[in-house]
Amino acid sequence: MNYLTNACVDLLREVRIKNPLIHNITNYVTVNDCANAILAIGASPIMADDVAEVEEIVSISSALVINIGTLNQRTITSMIIAGKKANELHVPVVLDPVGAGASSLRNKTTQEILSEVKIDIIRGNLSEISFVAGLSASTKGVDTSKADERNDAEAIAKSVANKYSCVVGITGQVDVISDGIRVAKVANGHKLLSKVTGTGCMTSALVGSFCSITKDYYTATVTGITAMGIAGEISFIKTREMGTGSFHIGIIDTLSNMNSTYFVERAKIDETEY
Amino acid sequence: MNYLTNACVDLLREVRIKNPLIHNITNYVTVNDCANAILAIGASPIMADDVAEVEEIVSISSALVINIGTLNQRTITSMIIAGKKANELHVPVVLDPVGAGASSLRNKTTQEILSEVKIDIIRGNLSEISFVAGLSASTKGVDTSKADERNDAEAIAKSVANKYSCVVGITGQVDVISDGIRVAKVANGHKLLSKVTGTGCMTSALVGSFCSITKDYYTATVTGITAMGIAGEISFIKTREMGTGSFHIGIIDTLSNMNSTYFVERAKIDETEY
Amino acid sequence: MNYLTNACVDLLREVRIKNPLIHNITNYVTVNDCANAILAIGASPIMADDVAEVEEIVSISSALVINIGTLNQRTITSMIIAGKKANELHVPVVLDPVGAGASSLRNKTTQEILSEVKIDIIRGNLSEISFVAGLSASTKGVDTSKADERNDAEAIAKSVANKYSCVVGITGQVDVISDGIRVAKVANGHKLLSKVTGTGCMTSALVGSFCSITKDYYTATVTGITAMGIAGEISFIKTREMGTGSFHIGIIDTLSNMNSTYFVERAKIDETEY
């Protein structure tokens, strides 16, 4: 077991003790799963998106997760106001640029958020992060396009991390996490994860949960992403041919049972320092 | 078995026969669970929140449940207009003041609804109801705060019930229901219920379902709250170490199978008259 | 096995190969289930409803599904703009007039959409389609009313199909699909399907998925409706007395495992040509 797996286990233990409050401004497709994933890992979710309350809610929270999955004008304003307040209070901000590359609204909003708010962690798929990197992404709806699969995730993660002085997590067959210098690769997960809506959103919610209890956002991001990968693997072992409905429930089940043994036995985290 | 348990069993039988329509103006986090809980217990849900239709919808409904879980300006207006119409038509109104005490918007809205609409039943956790009672609540997001756990639920329930001439249901380790004179305590439930989002919202939806078929809102509130407590107990027995995803599904399963035997064997309802 | 069952099996195989993108403007009650049903059957969902992006999203999609389950002014505009763009690009449009007949807003919106947008497929229950037919429907919330159960589904389906030059799918104990000339009746399904919210919405989402890969909307609609019926039957066999929570998950499970054997062994599709 390497030092990163060790550090993940520590964060996992700590989040369950501290039970931090995580503020989510998110989409209405996967919001229930995000709330339940946050509860399952040991944190406490609050979903609030009205401009009249987001500053107050972020003030009592330990992390803010901004997810642009079902954008509308009303919530864009809330995202930015909440993000600025979080910056002021040194509350970490996670951005999940769902579908960036798929519409001008998503592109413009992603750029607006990135220019108005200091984002601490960006978590997305390769198409979305390619767009953030300034590459011409060809996002297929909210999924990674075949064309983008050829992009070099490691180089893109480092480039975006340096551009925005943040941690970047690109999830895919192998997940890549970088703070601009270090690069971790996580080989956990299962292909069925792409057959359940919201596994990306839940991953961002987990990343937010772990970032709320440490300043080491790089390790926290590795922890959140690895936890979801392991949850996918174990859920598949338990549900097999049952189908994607049971697999979905199995993900939440596994997150609620996530423990050091799972990490020690299963985490496939590799790191290269540069 | 005491007379209250008996009365619960009668309401349970009746709701399945009458299949009343329950109008919900609610949040987008737990709305699917609320609809499925209402169906499971034998009623019929309709979710409608546009100001252009809420009066008509409440006119064909047998109860209105107002839940402020994800407030925004658009739906606040709808809540009040629907509430006034419900009052006019003598349709019972349940208020679930989710997160009252956690932001000025939630506080102001709770007070506005309580002053504009005659609320028949208020269902919340101890922090939320403490706020309604005029105590300085320290709601932790949408959960009861540690500080508020020391408050005297029984005194608060009675005080709020008298202040607003309504029935109050405070859910917690022991649930307390009061109409201002009578106080019932329900010792059902399971601690895992706090690890699934929406169990409070679902409880309010069940309370609305039972209040739609009787004028005895006190008994109806006891029935809804006890049903959720029993659902938590049985779901835990059936799902055990599986995790919170399966426990969540087990709650809906148990509600759909809820019957007199479950109540007779498990209901722990104590009543003190004053 | 008749030719229609054969054609269904072909579409089922094809949707999994082509993995088309399906744009949904839908309600926040059942949106997660719709996305997961679309993924389970082999297509890819995108939910987007802001007026600033719906034209672009529909331009990269292979079908548009408009569902009026939780209407509000903001999304009504988006529905019409997206629908017009879909028409321009020959992207098929499915309308699910949830609760038509239950409020003036739903009635007016249904009529407005039908007059502004060329709808290719209308999928609803008998009360909703009776309203569309110009009959005085007495929709009970979002469910078919007892009064409407006496209406002649076959005549209504044909009449609406001719009126709007579209395919009509009326789901109920026996589902009726018509293109104005042909009429197919599907005797699959299970009564528990009415005890889980969103089974109608999911059916419309499946219909959209199949219509995205063929110009033969009649067969595509038969396929989507039959798939849901079979999913209900098999889910019931697998979950039995467990309850409606497990039955719900079993529907998604079965959709993800849906295959030619299920269709060959179970599809009860009868067709009368006129």
Concatenate the DSSP letters of all residues of chain B into one string.
Answer: --HHHHHHHHHHHHHHHH--EEEEE--TTTHHHHHHHHHHHT-EEEE---TTTHHHHHHT-SEEEEE-TT--HHHHHHHHHHHHHHHHHT--EEEE-TTTTS-HHHHHHHHHHHHHS--SEEEEEHHHHHHHTTS----BTTB--TTGGGS-HHHHHHHHHHHHTSEEEEESSSEEEESSS-EEEE----GGGGGSTTHHHHHHHHHHHHHTT-S-HHHHHHHHHHHHHHHHHHHHHHHGGG-HHHHHHHHHHHHHH--HHHHHHH--EEEE--
Instruction: Residue C254: list chain A partners with CB under 8 A.
Output: 243
Q: What are the structure tokens assigned to A23, written together?
A: 């503020």
CATH architecture of A3-272: 3-Layer(aba) Sandwich (3.40)
* Residue from C61, C249, C258, C262 to probe the interface with A (highest A Cβ count within 10 Å): C249
C259 touches chain B (CB under 8 A): no
Asked whether residue C116 carries a pLDDT value surpassing 90, the answer given is yes
A240 touches chain C (CB under 8 A): no
Instruction: Residue A100: list chain C partners with CB under 8 A.
Output: none
- Nearest Cα to Cα of residue B221 among B68, B58, B96: B96
Q: What residues of C are designated binding site for substrate?
A: 47, 198
| CB pair distance less than 8 Å for B32 and C29 | yes
Q: Is B198 annotated as a binding residue?
A: yes
Q: Where are the domains of chain B?
A: 3-272
Cβ-based neighbours of A52, under 8 Å, separated by 6 or more: B73, B104, B105
**A213-263 pLDDT, tens per residue?**
999 999 999 999 999 999 999 999 999 989 999 999 999 999 999 999 999
Supply the pLDDT for residue C202.
Answer: 98
C246 touches chain A (CB under 8 A): no
**B151-185 pLDDT, tens per residue?**
699 999 999 999 999 999 999 999 999 999 999 99
Q: Which amino acid is at B228?
A: M
Average pLDDT of chain A, as a whole number = 95
Measured between CA atoms, the residue of chain C closest to residue B61 is C141
| Residue A270, SS3 per DSSP | strand
Q: How far apart are CA A114 and CA C4, in angstroms?
A: 52
Q: What are the structure tokens assigned to B249, written together?
A: 């599904």
- Helix orientation angle between A199-211 and A31-41, rounded to the nearest 10 degrees: 40
| Residue found under tokens 């101890």 | B126
Q: Rounded to 5 degrees, what angle do the CA atoms B222, B46, B175 make?
A: 20
Along the 274 residues of chain B, how does pLDDT read in single tens digits? Answer: 689 999 999 999 999 999 999 999 999 999 999 999 999 999 999 999 999 999 999 999 999 999 999 999 999 999 999 999 999 999 999 999 999 999 999 999 999 999 999 999 999 999 999 999 998 666 677 777 776 666 699 999 999 999 999 999 999 999 999 999 999 999 999 999 999 999 999 999 999 999 999 999 999 999 999 999 999 999 999 999 899 999 999 999 999 999 999 999 999 999 876 5
Subunits next to C (3 or more Cβ pairs <8 Å) are: A, B
Q: What is the CA radius of gyration of chain B?
A: 17
Question: Which of the 8 DSSP states describes residue A170?
Answer: E
Residue A135 CB: number of other CB atoms within 10 A?
A: 17
Along the 274 residues of chain A, how does pLDDT read in single tens digits? Answer: 689 999 999 999 999 999 999 999 999 999 999 999 999 999 999 999 999 999 999 999 999 999 999 999 999 999 999 999 999 999 999 999 999 999 999 999 999 999 999 999 999 999 999 999 998 666 677 777 776 666 699 999 999 999 999 999 999 999 999 999 999 999 999 999 999 999 999 999 999 999 999 999 999 999 999 999 999 999 999 999 899 999 999 999 999 999 999 999 999 999 876 5
**C70-85 pLDDT, tens per residue?**
999 999 999 999 999 9
Q: Which residue among B32, B39, B53 sits closest to C30, beta carbon to beta carbon?
A: B32
Instruction: Residue C244: list chain A partners with CB under 8 A.
Output: none
Q: What is the ipTM of this complex?
A: 0.95
Supply the pLDDT for residue C273.
Answer: 61
The neighbouring-strand residues paired with C168 are C122, C178
Instruction: Residue B140: list chain A partners with CB under 8 A.
Output: 21, 44, 60
φ, ψ (nearest 5 deg) of residue A162 = -70, -40
Q: How far apart are CA B128 and CA B79, in angstroms?
A: 18
